[in-house]
Homo-oligomer: A and B are copies of this chain.
Amino acid sequence: MTPSQKLTELGLTLPGVTAPIGSYVPGIRTGNLVFVSGQLPFVDGKLLAEGKVGADVTPEQAIKAARQSGINALSIAAHTAGGIDNIARVIRLAVFVQSAPGFSDQPRIANGASDVMVEIFGEAGKHVRAAVGANELPRNAAVEVEMMVELKG
């Protein structure tokens, strides 16, 4: 099953890509790699989770936010690649978790983004990962996800 078929099976729709207004871009291809800008858990222009994980935001909410950030990053990767089926593998995710003092389960939150990659790509969705805490993130988002993928051919 191709990744695009898998998306359909999972009932997942990749959101449209809106270019940020400014000096940076959502995704860039160099050689057979695509790099994606850090993505927040936006759904239809609204953040899925705002605040510190472990205080304002529960781990369950943060996992969903990480998943959404991952989907948003994948959407950009697919757009940059000319279609999700041109992606051979997910190479790297960096997951920044806006963490309340004492919250140290960033890996569990990051799984939200990691797991959706494997749901869509199977073995080719397995990637290296850095899960790191941050005291503050843009727009008070609970999670930010950066991505790198490898293209086919």
Q: How many copies does the complex hold?
A: 3
Q: How many angstroms from the CA of A117 to the CA of B23 in the assembled complex? A: 8
- Chain B residues contacting A79 (CB-CB under 8 Å) are none
Q: A33 contacts the other chain (Cβ, under 8 Å)?
A: yes
**By the criterion CB–CB under 8 Å, are A111 and B23 in contact?**
yes
Q: A137 contacts the other chain (Cβ, under 8 Å)?
A: yes
Closest residue of chain B to A27 (Cβ to Cβ) is B128
- Chain B residues contacting A115 (CB-CB under 8 Å) are 22-23
**By the criterion CB–CB under 8 Å, are B24 and A137 in contact?**
no
Given contacts A24-B129, A27-B128, 5 further A-B contacts (CB under 8 A): A22-B111, A30-B33, A30-B91, A38-B132, A130-B144
The 29 listed contacts between A and B (C-beta, < 8 Å) are A22-B111, A22-B115, A23-B111, A23-B125, A23-B126, A23-B127, A28-B89, A28-B92, A30-B150, A31-B31, A31-B32, A35-B91, A38-B129, A98-B133, A99-B135, A99-B136, A101-B135, A101-B136, A104-B136, A104-B138, A104-B139, A104-B141, A105-B138, A130-B146, A132-B137, A132-B138, A133-B134, A134-B135, A135-B135
